[in-house]
Structure 1
């Protein structure tokens, strides 16, 4: 019989049959360009499937098959051989059971230990009262005044921030300042479990991707003088799950204000909960906002961290913002001597037909475009670094759908500084 019929009779896939052929577990006869599977192949396949159910590895089954074929065992010898084989596997399995039970007990103990530590160490992060001077109405840029505020440890947890000039009102929920309570974005995110989603994301995305990204992170860390950040204000655009923040968290000075801005309130909640379990306390401010509605005062930012924030914004930007470079629209927030720490996705090569990035936008994903835009804003590049190429697009599944097969992409990291004379 042919391979298709054989696979159906044995209730396995054709790919499985081919794999077993390649490893010598079944030996069909080749006649011309086709393989023919006979009764011996069927019996071999039944042995393979049975031994797999009993916990034998394919390598063990392969050794058994070779021994059986070469020695041509008689019935009594075959029974003794099977008996020894099964007894050895039983002894091996019993040892594994003991090892697994021991590991399970240790895991239970470790889990209780972690839960006890988590319960005792968790603190509450909110809007620090000491950062109120940084906030401004996103509409008219006037000062904001707190109203109906719940305060814990000098952090505002719930309440409202009322504009002193217009009728704009911002809400504080769970210690996070929210500027888009009327936006459809908030409603579209409420049913998503982002803790689960991020864990699944990490499992599905190839390890090489994170290795390449962390190449850039480590380079950035090596270039930053963290002592110069003392008493300064940092703004991260699109902080997401806080991958970069967590990479530098222990190095941030205690009196530095680190502002996490993301349009996704659920991601801000997840990140805040993670940081709340950290023993090291930092001055953090969480804002859930569209990038064009960030409620901060003009010239309030000493450091701008743009870790793929601009790249993601270009993928997802609303039509009215698609022609703009993100930092050009936010330049009013930056001090005259601001420092930028950036990481941008650069397309070295595009697939022929790209569903996400049209031909007239491809120039935006080049080093030349990024550096030109930053130069126009008055930034002088101090240093830069290119990662190795990211893994091929077919390895990402549904989570990075802006990559498609045929793209060649790497991450471009940079450090730049603005000087008053450049303005």
Structure 2
């Protein structure tokens, strides 16, 4: 039986089957590069499924399977051994239940304690550093700030306007533009169902993020402007702010006001002294001065952008970059002949015609007088998860990391 049919029969992912093979839980025959899972594998998989229901770990299951393979499990002595294992596991589970019950009581006590001592939040708004950087995205004129409410070194409320009629509002310390367009699907890490994301794919993304943060930290970041755009699904910087420079200036953009509000509260709680600007925006036409940004972070945000907009993010963002600036990114793509690309065109008719093509990245960089100075193949997955409705089962969604530099 082929690995795909085998996985479907047991309602698990192909990555799970491969992992079991790697651990030695399943030992299929192999013809050239293809696994052939025989009757023994079917029996072992059914046994694994049963033992997992009994809450045995994969390490414990491996030991039990090893005994089964070394001996005749129908012998009375082996049956007695397995019975003893079940009794021991039952006792362990009872002990776990008692420990969990104690933990639940401790959590209840902690929640009650926290509810009685919630600290009063300091009002943190737009740092004054960003005011000279506020320019009209249409006519490139410096924006006028009116009706401003100040709290220390922050602007908490205000109106930014231009003579061309462009206007953006600062409310509760968040810059809100009118350029907002959301995806047909949910694109918010605070709302999506993580059960629809394959853990193997999440690990792949995390591998890419670690590469990106390592590359970013090779540069001196003090007094640099660092922008991470469209952080609806995946974000990099917030997780690593404590290890990055506290003298850098950070900008986060997102189409969801609710998500930006949650992110703002989280950063203010853990890193209250950082200079951070939060912008509600989705089309990347930011009310910022040209040649003001040192780093753009693309944590697969350009991949998502290609599903919603026909324009290239490299073209839109290029004017904002300073000389010798960098885009550090992670990009997902399929082979040109894949069915998944056809599915994308059917599901997202307004998407870029090269969405999730590798040349979307390569041409976007080249056409805007940039150069990919470094690239790294992170890996691929055949099952990113049911959240990615355009993915054709069995096809490879690949992930590549890159650094695009300005001359």
What residue in structure 1 maps to residue 165 of structure 2?
A: 167
What residue in structure 1 maps to residue 371 of structure 2?
A: 380
Once residues 185 and 368 of structure 1 are traced to their aligned partners in structure 2, the CA distance between those partners, rounded to angstroms, is 24
| SS of the residue 2:335 aligns to | strand
| SS of the residue 2:236 aligns to | helix
Are residues 158 and 141 of structure 1, via their aligned partners in 2, closer, same or farther at CA, if it must alter by over 3 Å? same
- Kept in 2, the 8 Å contact 1:349–1:407? The answer is no
Are residues 401 and 150 of structure 1, via their aligned partners in 2, closer, same or farther at CA, if it must alter by over 3 Å? farther
- In the alignment, is residue 392 of structure 1 matched against residue 391 of structure 2? no
- Kept in 2, the 8 Å contact 1:340–1:417? The answer is yes
Once residues 338 and 394 of structure 2 are traced to their aligned partners in structure 1, the CA distance between those partners, rounded to angstroms, is 4
* Greater CA drift, 297-306 or 232-241: 232-241
User: Residue 315 of structure 2 is aligned with which of 328, 340, 343?
Assistant: 328
Once residues 245 and 313 of structure 1 are traced to their aligned partners in structure 2, the CA distance between those partners, rounded to angstroms, is 18
- In the alignment, is residue 412 of structure 1 matched against residue 400 of structure 2? yes
| SS of the residue 1:130 aligns to | helix
Are residues 401 and 274 of structure 1, via their aligned partners in 2, closer, same or farther at CA, if it must alter by over 3 Å? farther
* Greater CA drift, 107-116 or 306-315: 107-116
Are residues 241 and 56 of structure 1, via their aligned partners in 2, closer, same or farther at CA, if it must alter by over 3 Å? closer
What residue in structure 2 maps to residue 41 of structure 1?
A: none
Residue deviations 1:357-398, cap 9 Å, x none? 379967553444523431332323332111111x334x622x
| SS of the residue 1:294 aligns to | coil
User: Residue 221 of structure 1 is aligned with which of 197, 201, 213?
Assistant: 213
Q: State the Cα distance separating 1:261 from its structure 2 match.
A: 1.6
What residue in structure 1 maps to residue 31 of structure 2?
A: none
- Kept in 1, the 8 Å contact 2:181–2:282? The answer is no
Once residues 185 and 211 of structure 1 are traced to their aligned partners in structure 2, the CA distance between those partners, rounded to angstroms, is 26
| SS of the residue 2:278 aligns to | strand
User: Residue 324 of structure 2 is aligned with which of 337, 350, 359?
Assistant: 337
What residue in structure 2 maps to residue 197 of structure 1?
A: 191
For structure 1, list consecutive stretches of 5 or more residues without a partner in the other structure. 1-13, 26-47, 60-68, 71-86
- Kept in 1, the 8 Å contact 2:294–2:321? The answer is yes
Are residues 336 and 227 of structure 1, via their aligned partners in 2, closer, same or farther at CA, if it must alter by over 3 Å? closer
Q: State the Cα distance separating 1:412 from its structure 2 match.
A: 1.0
What residue in structure 2 maps to residue 33 of structure 1?
A: none
| SS of the residue 1:140 aligns to | coil
| TM-score, normalization by structure 2 | 0.69
Are residues 362 and 406 of structure 1, via their aligned partners in 2, closer, same or farther at CA, if it must alter by over 3 Å? farther
Are residues 115 and 256 of structure 1, via their aligned partners in 2, closer, same or farther at CA, if it must alter by over 3 Å? farther
Matches within 5 A, 1:339-354: 339-348=326-335, 351-352=338-339, 354=342
| SS of the residue 1:143 aligns to | coil
Are residues 292 and 89 of structure 1, via their aligned partners in 2, closer, same or farther at CA, if it must alter by over 3 Å? closer
What residue in structure 2 maps to residue 302 of structure 1?
A: 294
Q: Which is higher, the Rg of structure 1 or of structure 2? A: 1
Matches within 5 A, 1:86-125: 95-111=95-111, 119-120=118-119, 123-125=122-124
Once residues 203 and 239 of structure 2 are traced to their aligned partners in structure 1, the CA distance between those partners, rounded to angstroms, is 13
Q: State the Cα distance separating 1:195 from its structure 2 match.
A: 7.2
What residue in structure 2 maps to residue 127 of structure 1?
A: 126
Once residues 361 and 195 of structure 1 are traced to their aligned partners in structure 2, the CA distance between those partners, rounded to angstroms, is 23
- Kept in 1, the 8 Å contact 2:235–2:299? The answer is no
Once residues 221 and 346 of structure 1 are traced to their aligned partners in structure 2, the CA distance between those partners, rounded to angstroms, is 21
- Kept in 2, the 8 Å contact 1:216–1:413? The answer is yes
- Kept in 2, the 8 Å contact 1:379–1:416? The answer is yes
Once residues 91 and 364 of structure 1 are traced to their aligned partners in structure 2, the CA distance between those partners, rounded to angstroms, is 54
For structure 2, list consecutive stretches of 5 or more residues without a partner in the other structure. 1-8, 12-41, 62-74, 77-86
Residue deviations 1:243-265, cap 9 Å, x none? 20123312332221111122222
| SS of the residue 1:285 aligns to | strand
RMSD between aligned alpha carbons?
A: 4.4
- Aligned residue-pair number: 346
